[in-house]
C-alpha cells in the first residue's frame, strides 16, 4: 500500500475497523476495547502504509494467561533524517493500565524475540492472513468513505492537531486547527487553539498542561469567550498581520479550519455555518469574509455575513452544536 497518511488518521481508521471478527481472541474482545487481539494484523497494516520492520516479544506467563496470547507485535521504522529506529505500537491501547508496557517493549519484562522482521511469520498462519486481509479492506473502505480523509489540507490539519510540537492544542474538549493558504495553495501560516495565558506565566481557568478545562461540561458554543483557549483562526489572523498582511489583504487568503475530538476522531458540523460568536465577531471586525469548514464530506465556505447571525443561536442555546 505504502500510502503515507497521518499516524493519527491511521489510528482512527484502525479503531473504527477492528471487530470481534478480526481479533485473534474473539471471546475476550469487547467494543469498549476494540484493539484487543489485533497486534499482529495492526502491525502488518502499519507496515503496509509505512514500511519498516515488525518486532515481537513474549509475554511473562502471568500476562500471557490473562491475555490468552503468548506474544505481542509492534513496528519499528527508520525516521527520515535519523539513523535510529523508532517504535510504533498502534495496538498499545488494548493493554490495562497495570501492564508494565514500557519495561516489556524494552526487554526488561518478558522475552524479546529475535531482531528480525516478523511479517512473513505472522502471515504464514492462514487465520492471521485472512484477518489481515479483512481488516485491511475495512481500513481502505473507511479511508475512501469520506473525501476529506484523502484531502491533503484535511490530513495536514489532522496531523497538526496531534503533532506533539509546542503549538499542539492540549484542550480536553476539542482540538481545532486553522491553516491559511494563498490563492495558489501555498501555506502562509497555521495554528491550533492554544492557551494564551502561558505568555503571562500564570494559570487562570484552564491548566497549561491540559489536565483542567473550564469548558468541560459546559454546553458547546455558549459563552464562547469563557476559557483560556485562543481560537485557532484568531491566532492565524494575528500571525497573518505579523507577516505584514493588512486587513484589506484578507480576500487574497483562504482560511481552513478543522476540529478533532481528543481521541483523534474528526468533528463534523451539523449544518454549513460557523458556530462560534467569539470568532465571528473577530471575522466581522477585521473583514474576513469567510472561513472554510468541514461539512458533508467537503470543505464548505462559511460566510461571515450569514454565520455572524446564525452563530448567535448557538450562543443563546436555541441550537445545539
Residue 196 has pLDDT above 80, yes or no: yes
The residue ranges of every structural domain in the chain are 7-145, 148-316
pLDDT tier at 81 (50, 70, 90 boundaries)?
low
CB burial of residue 167 (10 Å; 0-12, 13-18, 19+):
middle
Which three cell numbers, joined as nine digits, stand for 206?
A: 484552564
Which three cell numbers, joined as nine digits, stand for 27?
A: 471471546
Residue carrying C-alpha cell 467494543: 31
Confidence at residue 209, expressed as pLDDT on a 0 to 100 scale: 85
Backbone φ and ψ for 119, nearest 5 degrees, come out as -60, -50
Question: DSSP assignment of 166-212, as one string?
Answer: TT----SS-EEEEEEEETTS-EEEEEE-EEGGGGGT---SS-TTSS-
In this structure, the chain runs to a length of 321
Residue 180 has pLDDT above 70, yes or no: yes
CB burial of residue 31 (10 Å; 0-12, 13-18, 19+):
exposed
Residue carrying C-alpha cell 473583514: 287
Tell me if 86 sits within 8 A of 80, measured CB to CB: no
DSSP assigned state of 214: T
CATH number of 148-316: 3.40.140.10
Residue 3 has pLDDT above 70, yes or no: no
Confidence at residue 72, expressed as pLDDT on a 0 to 100 scale: 97
Confidence at residue 237, expressed as pLDDT on a 0 to 100 scale: 97
SS3 breakdown of the chain: % helix, strand, coil, rounded to 5? 40, 20, 45
Number of H helices, E strands in the chain: 10, 12
Residue 1 has pLDDT above 90, yes or no: no
Residue carrying C-alpha cell 476495547: 33
Taken in order 170, 171, 173, 176, the sign of the CA dihedral is: negative
Which three cell numbers, joined as nine digits, stand for 119?
A: 511479517
Which three cell numbers, joined as nine digits, stand for 183?
A: 490563492
pLDDT tier at 317 (50, 70, 90 boundaries)?
confident
pLDDT tens profile 132-163 = 999 999 999 999 999 999 999 999 999 999 98
Q: Which of 210, 204, 205, 215 is nearest to 192 (CA)?
A: 210
Tell me if 177 sits within 8 A of 191, measured CB to CB: yes
Amino acid at each position: 500500500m505504502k500510502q503515507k497518511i497521518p499516524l493519527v488518521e491511521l489510528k482512527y481508521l484502525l479503531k473504527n475497523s477492528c471487530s470481534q471478527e478480526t481479533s485473534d481472541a474473539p471471546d475476550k474482545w469487547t467494543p469498549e476495547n476494540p484493539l484487543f487481539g489485533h497486534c499482529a494484523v495492526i502491525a502488518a497494516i502499519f507496515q503496509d502504509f509505512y514500511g519498516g520492520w515488525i518486532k515481537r516479544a513474549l509475554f511473562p506467563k502471568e500476562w500471557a494467561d490473562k491475555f490468552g496470547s503468548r506474544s505481542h507485535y509492534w513496528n519499528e521504522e527508520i525516521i527520515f533524517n535519523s539513523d535510529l529506529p523508532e517504535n510504533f505500537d498502534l495496538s498499545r491501547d488494548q493493554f490495562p493500565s497495570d501492564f508494565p508496557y514500557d519495561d516489556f517493549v524494552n526487554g526488561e519484562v518478558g522475552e524479546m524475540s529475535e531482531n528480525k522482521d516478523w511479517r512473513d511469520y505472522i502471515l504464514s498462519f492462514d487465520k492471521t492472513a485472512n484477518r489481515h486481509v479483512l481488516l485491511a479492506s475495512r481500513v481502505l473502505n473507511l479511508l475512501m468513505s469520506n473525501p476529506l480523509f484523502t484531502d491533503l489540507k484535511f490530513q495536514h490539519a489532522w496531523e497538526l492537531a496531534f503533532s506533539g510540537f509546542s503549538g499542539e492544542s492540549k484542550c480536553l474538549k476539542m482540538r481545532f486547527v486553522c491553516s491559511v493558504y494563498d490563492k495558489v495553495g501555498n501555506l502562509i501560516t497555521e495554528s491550533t487553539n492554544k492557551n494564551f495565558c502561558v505568555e503571562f506565566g500564570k494559570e487562570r481557568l484552564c491548566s497549561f498542561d491540559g489536565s483542567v478545562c473550564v469548558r468541560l461540561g459546559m454546553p458547546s458554543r455558549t459563552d464562547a469567550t469563557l476559557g483560556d483557549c485562543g481560537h485557532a483562526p484568531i491566532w492565524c489572523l494575528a500571525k497573518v498581520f505579523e507577516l505584514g498582511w493588512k486587513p484589506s489583504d484578507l480576500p487574497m487568503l483562504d482560511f481552513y479550519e478543522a476540529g478533532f475530538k481528543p481521541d483523534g476522531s474528526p468533528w463534523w458540523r451539523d449544518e454549513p455555518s460557523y458556530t462560534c460568536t467569539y470568532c465571528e465577531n473577530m471575522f466581522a471586525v477585521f473583514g474576513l469574509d469567510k472561513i472554510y469548514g468541514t461539512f458533508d464530506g467537503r470543505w464548505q465556505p462559511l460566510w461571515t455575513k450569514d454565520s455572524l447571525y446564525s452563530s448567535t443561536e448557538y450562543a443563546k442555546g436555541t441550537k445545539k452544536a
